Amino acid sequence: MKEQPARIRWERRTQRPLMALAVLFAVAYAVPIVDSSASRALTRACTVVEWVVWGAFAADYLVRLGLAERRGEFVRRHWMDLCAVLLPLIQPLRLLRVVSTLMLVGRRARMATQVRLTTYVVGSVVGLLMFGSLAVLSVERDAPNGNIETLGDAVWWSFTTMTTVGYGDHAPTTGLGRILAVGLMLSGIALLGVVTANIAAWFIARFEDDAEERRQTEAIQLLTEEIQKLRAEVAALSERAP
């Protein structure tokens, strides 16, 4: 089904502002975790920013729903967007806002035609690594038997988990931390698969371009030889003519 022009215009106009809000959300989420001594006022301000950004993405979904030509079909085709909008309302957990905002950012990025696959994949890997590190640090730092106590520990754990290396020197000990680990493992495997497939597709495309270029060069050489033969034959006929 052809998309409604008004909805397409809305998505093109709001894509960059929403991406900027996503960056603001990342900063607001990271500040209280990185700076454990942040004041209560700063922490509260960061929480407000998180809710405002989530509200902006939720409002974007409602506007797109209103501009859709067939709203029932829109809901069916974008059910993940709806789940991401409703997720933080189920229970006021901070982590749910992170998950829902990441889902909404990913869905909006895929809708943008100017975002190339490589850029999206690289951004997804970096974002997953960053948010995974911050999330596990926030739940494991104060755990009685936890061994992920600094941002460096969290980043190292996230990197080894996403790449499925898993040295075991750092590991979550809380239930929520282990849930995060499962999500990071599955997401990391999926993203690494996309990265591998993207690199393989790039090499295949280069090889196909080189092969096509060689075929064209060979065809030009054959054509040049045929033309030279024709010229020689014409010259010979001209010399024999009385």
What is the predicted pLDDT for the residue at 45?
Answer: 92
Domain extents in the chain = 1-115
As given in the structure block, the two tokens for residue 201 are 């597709």
As given in the structure block, the two tokens for residue 76 are 């069916």
Closest CA to 109 of 123, 95, 126: 123
Cβ(162)–Cβ(132) below 8 Å: yes
What is the share, in percent, of the chain residues with pLDDT greater than 70?
79
User: Which residues lie closer than 8 Å to 176 by C-beta, 6 or more apart?
Assistant: 95, 139
What is the predicted pLDDT for the residue at 104?
Answer: 67
What are 168-180's pLDDT values in tens digits?
888 888 888 888 8
- The pTM of this model reads 0.59
Question: For 159, which DSSP code?
Answer: H
Q: What is the pLDDT along the chain (242 residues), one digit of tens a residue?
A: 444 578 778 877 887 788 888 888 888 888 888 887 778 888 899 889 888 888 888 888 888 888 887 888 888 887 777 777 777 666 555 555 666 666 666 666 555 544 556 666 677 777 788 888 888 888 888 888 888 888 888 889 988 888 878 788 888 888 888 888 888 888 777 777 767 776 777 778 777 767 777 777 777 888 888 788 877 777 776 766 65
What is the predicted pLDDT for the residue at 132?
Answer: 84
As given in the structure block, the two tokens for residue 106 are 């990913």
Cα separation, 147 vs 202, whole angstroms = 40
Question: For 166, which DSSP code?
Answer: -
